[in-house]
Structure formats: structure tokens, C-alpha cells
Amino acid sequence: MSATTTLSRERAAPRRRDAEATRAAILEAAKTHFARSGYDHAALRDIAADAGCDVALIKRYFGGKDALFVEALKASFHPDRLREWDRRAFPRDAAIMLANAAPIGEEPTHSFQFLLRTATSPTTAPLLNLAMQERFLAPIRDWLGGEDAPARARVMAAVYIGFLVERLIREKPLRGRERDVFIDRVTAIFEAMIAPSP
Amino acid sequence: MSATTTLSRERAAPRRRDAEATRAAILEAAKTHFARSGYDHAALRDIAADAGCDVALIKRYFGGKDALFVEALKASFHPDRLREWDRRAFPRDAAIMLANAAPIGEEPTHSFQFLLRTATSPTTAPLLNLAMQERFLAPIRDWLGGEDAPARARVMAAVYIGFLVERLIREKPLRGRERDVFIDRVTAIFEAMIAPSP
DNA sequence: GACCCAAGTCAACCATGATTGACATCTTGC
DNA sequence: GCAAGATGTCAATCATGGTTGACTTGGGTC
């Protein structure tokens, strides 16, 4: 939803036929559906229905399911968020975030569910390499900086993904001592990863 | 492949019509296909072809795709392997294994790829929790032992899964210094996880 | 040898879902 | 107003793949 883009406000005409808006609506719906259901189980008809338009428009605006997926994949990552994170606070903040329950459909998980679904499907795994490089590994590498940033970024990305997966399949929330131990251990791991090479 | 099970050798008759053998062949083929392609992309016709029989036999012997998948899932885990791992050598051995390229269909990864692919499909995702608990978390917990084993097992499983995902989507093999740093860091993480609580 | 049942084969059936082209309708420029 | 192109709709088409039932074949028993 939220198909009404704010751009070109000078054109007061509330034209109902707005290619740009429909395209954006399709992309938005696609992000949600792909993240929730994965590539295979996301039906273009459902996406179109959510976007409030016909399936055929997807072909017109994106070309096909593959192309739509790639666009949605690109649009689903917001690596800029990383820059806002404080280096000192990150390990524990991230650990606590991971210890808490993952609300289904909430924003932060969104893109990572996407990631997971993409990584584990043979169809889409190849597509992920590029996106990972550009949008995930590179930002982490820059954020880390220092010696051996590439290898360390790779390790950090892997660990982070692992915890996201764990949270995704966690059956019940962590409590009490288990939660505390979990947080402490995860914090230690993140701290070790951020630490520059000796 | 390897449809000739060794059991019942006393019955010298090389009967070509062997329900037990075909059933085993189907299961074996299913394990491979499901692990490599995931639930959705594994076609029963392909599995049957690999097993050297007709699709209809799958229905006869297993009932349907779902049931076959469950059987293959159960048969794909060998959590007992964990016991063989030496506590001291594990961190570095595991790190090196993860640094190397993942040969599709090789034994060690096999069951874990299976696990990961399971997460892809909404059909099979519910099965994942159970399998994770019984066949992954519990063995690790026992293997770790000591104080706070549950929380530590959770952390360790998550990290391990993360690295498996990373390896799945890794575009080219690690080399040189990047590989060395990767191994060192991963080793350190595993060592930290194995270490008992202070 | 005749017979019966398990084991295996074959050819449909059916649902799903992406793709496509023909068609309708709105918007805009003249 | 009116043509033309952009935008949106509709109903096939096509491929895939799981499911199913009728059929054939083999192999052991009487």
C-alpha cells in the first residue's frame, strides 16, 4: 500500500492512472511476499492483488518474475543503517536484539527473512551473490575498516545471518538465565569479530 | 545409486523385483535430491528416475511427496557423528572445513544442506523446529555438556548455520591471507563457544 | 501348467502459476 | 473534440509436476 508517492506534488492532478505509483506498489508488495514466502511460493497473482492491479502489469513494468525478484532484493536492503550503529554499543545491542523475539513481518527482520529465503533456494542463490557483495559485505567491510576487513566482514556477516536464522526458527522466547548467557556469549563473539587483527 | 543393500545376503536369489531394495533406492535418491534442490525443486519424477523406477512407486511405498520428505529428513541426520569429534581439534577442523569450498552432495554437508533447504519452503518449515531440536540442538547440548549447555548449544548451532549459509552462497573459494584470517577468526569463535561458563 | 498377488509400468488427470496477446479505457496534446 | 499513446483488464495458453487408476509382468505356489 501507500501507493501515493510524494514526488511531483506540483502536478496537482490526482490522476488515477499512475504508472510510477503502480510500479512502486508492485515492488512493495513483492518485497513483502518474497520475504514471507520465498521466491517459489510467492505468486505473482497475489503480489498483483496486493498492489491493486493486474498480473500483466508486472510483466510490463518488470519483465518477469526473475527481474521483479532482483529488484525487490536490491530494494530490500538498507545497508546505510549500519553506519548509525555505534561501534562500542553494537555487540551488546545486537545481542539483545537477537535474544528478543522476532515479530513476524516487522521491519528489521523483513530484509533478512528475504535474505534467508534467497540463500536457501537454488533458484535464487546465484542472484544473492551480487546483492550480498554490494549491499551486505561491502558496507560491513567499510564499517569495520582496518586490517583484513574483507575476511572479518565475511565472518561477521555469516555469524549474523546464523543468529537471524536461529531467531527465525526459535520456538519460544528466551528467558531467565538462558537469555542472559545467550546475550553474554553473543556479545563476546561480536566483540571478538569487531576487534582488529593483532 | 547404490541400490543394492547388503542385507539378506543369505537369500542368494538375485530377484530383480525387490520391493525393499527399490524402496531403499528411492529413499537414497530422495535424500540427495532434497538436499541439493530443496523440497520444492526436487521433482518426484527425477527422484524416481535416479532410483531406476517409476513415479507411481513412490506413491505406493511412501504415500506422497510430503511423507517421502519426512522419511528422507529423518534418514538424513547422523547426529552421532558429533560424538566422534575431538573437543580440542574441533574448532580449527570445523573452521578449515568451512573455509573450503562446499562440494555439493558430499557427505558432511549433506544433512545440513538438507536442514537449510528445509527452511525455504513454508510446507516444510514447520518440520524444521522439531528436527532442529531433536537432531541438532540436543546433540550439541550433550556434546558441550557442563554449565549452561542449552544456551551455549543455541549459540553454537546458530553460528554454525550462519557459516553454512555463507558457504552456500560464497561465489569463489577463499585464498591466501583472506582464507587464513577467516580460519583464525572462526577458530577463535568456536573455541570461545566451547569454553565453559566462567 | 494354471493361478494369484506383489512389483512395476503407462498414460492420463488435475491444479497451480507464469507468460502472453488481444482488448478496453483513460490521459494528454493538438 | 479527437486521435494516439499510455495504462489497465481479461481470458486464454503453456509448462510443470504431483496424483491417480488401469494395466502388464514376474515369480512363487498349488
The CATH number linked to B24 is 1.10.10.60
Least confident of A7-16, B111-120, B139-148: A7-16
Please give the residue of chain A at the shortest CA–CA distance from B197: A181
CB burial of A175-195 (b: ≥16 within 10 Å; e: otherwise) equals: eeeeeebbbbbbbbbbebbbe
Residues B92 and B61 occupy one common structural domain: no
Q: Cβ A123–B41 below 8 Å, yes or no?
A: yes
Residue type, B116: L
How many beta-carbon pairs below 8 A join chains A and B? 137
Give SS3 for B117.
Answer: helix
Q: What does the mean pLDDT of chain B come to?
A: 80
Residues B61 and B158 occupy one common structural domain: no
Phi, psi of A10 (to 5 degrees): -60, -25
| pLDDT (mean) for A13-38 | 84
- Residue A51 reports pLDDT greater than 70: yes
Residues whose beta carbon sits under 7 Å from strand D: A 17-19, 21-22, 53-57, 60; B 13, 15-17, 41-45, 55-56, 59, 64-66
Q: For chain A, what's the residue count?
A: 198
Position B42 scores a pLDDT of 93
State pLDDT tens for residues B73-113. 888 766 666 677 888 899 999 899 889 876 554 444 456 66
Flag whether A87 is in a domain: yes
All 3 cell numbers of residue B34? 532434497
Q: A154 with B167: CB under 8 angstroms?
A: no
Among the three residues A53, A75, A97, which one is the final residue of a domain in this structure? A75
State pLDDT tens for residues A138-181. 888 888 888 889 889 989 988 988 888 788 778 788 999 999 99
Residues A113 and A182 occupy one common structural domain: yes
Tell me the pLDDT band of B7, cut-offs 50, 70 and 90: very low
Residues A189 and A120 occupy one common structural domain: yes
Residues A67 and A103 occupy one common structural domain: no
CA distances from A92 to A89, A142, A146, A183 (A): 6, 20, 21, 7
- Of residues B195 and A43, which shows the higher confidence score? A43
State pLDDT tens for residues A169-196. 787 889 999 999 999 999 999 998 888 8
What stretch of H or E contains A193?
helix A176-194
| pLDDT (mean) for A113-122 | 72
Residues B104 and B183 occupy one common structural domain: yes
- Residue B15 reports pLDDT greater than 60: no
Least confident of A46-60, A77-91, B7-21, B45-59: B7-21
Q: Cβ B169–A132 below 8 Å, yes or no?
A: yes
Flag whether A24 is in a domain: yes
Tell me the pLDDT band of A35, cut-offs 50, 70 and 90: confident
Residues B126 and B174 occupy one common structural domain: yes
Q: List the 133-152 stretch of B: residues with Cβ below 8 A of A.
A: 133, 148, 150-152
Kindly state whether B185 is in contact with chain A, defined as any CB-CB distance less than 8 angstroms. yes
Residues A50 and A94 occupy one common structural domain: no
- Distance CA(A99)–CA(A18), nearest Å, equals 43
Residues B54 and B103 occupy one common structural domain: no
Q: What percentage of chain A has pLDDT greater than the value 90? A: 36
Position A11 scores a pLDDT of 38
Q: Cβ B171–A41 below 8 Å, yes or no?
A: no
Residues A71 and A120 occupy one common structural domain: no
All 3 cell numbers of residue A191? 566483540
Position B193 scores a pLDDT of 87
Flag whether A103 is in a domain: yes
Flag whether A3 is in a domain: no
Among the three residues B55, B76, B97, which one is the final residue of a domain in this structure? B76
Least CB–CB distance from B154: residue in A157, A166, A197 = A166
| pLDDT (mean) for B21-47 | 92
CA distances from A73 to A25, A82, A102, A172, B171 (A): 15, 18, 21, 29, 18
Residues A68 and A95 occupy one common structural domain: no
Residue entry with cell 551473490: A129
CB-count exposure of residue A49 (10 Å: 0-12, 13-18, 19+) = middle
Residues B47 and B120 occupy one common structural domain: no
How many domains would you assign to chain B? 2
Tell me the CA–C1' distance in angstroms for A21 and C30. Answer: 27
Tell me the CA–C1' distance in angstroms for A17 and D3. Answer: 20
Give SS3 for A12.
Answer: coil
Domain range for residue B24?
A: 19-76
Q: At what angle do helices B149-169 and A176-194 cross, to 10 degrees?
A: 40
Nearest-CA distance from B108 to chain A in Å?
17
Kindly state whether B178 is in contact with chain A, defined as any CB-CB distance less than 8 angstroms. yes
DSSP assignments along A106-143, one per residue: -HHHHHHHHHHHHHH-TTTHHHHHHHHIIIIIHHHHHH
Tell me the CA–C1' distance in angstroms for B55 and C13. Answer: 15
- Of residues B151 and A135, which shows the higher confidence score? B151
Q: What percentage of chain B has pLDDT greater than the value 90? A: 37
CA distances from B147 to A85, A170, B47, B194 (A): 33, 21, 45, 11
CA distances from B1 to B26, B28, B33, B104, B144 (A): 9, 7, 12, 16, 36
Nearest-CA distance from A3 to chain B in Å?
28
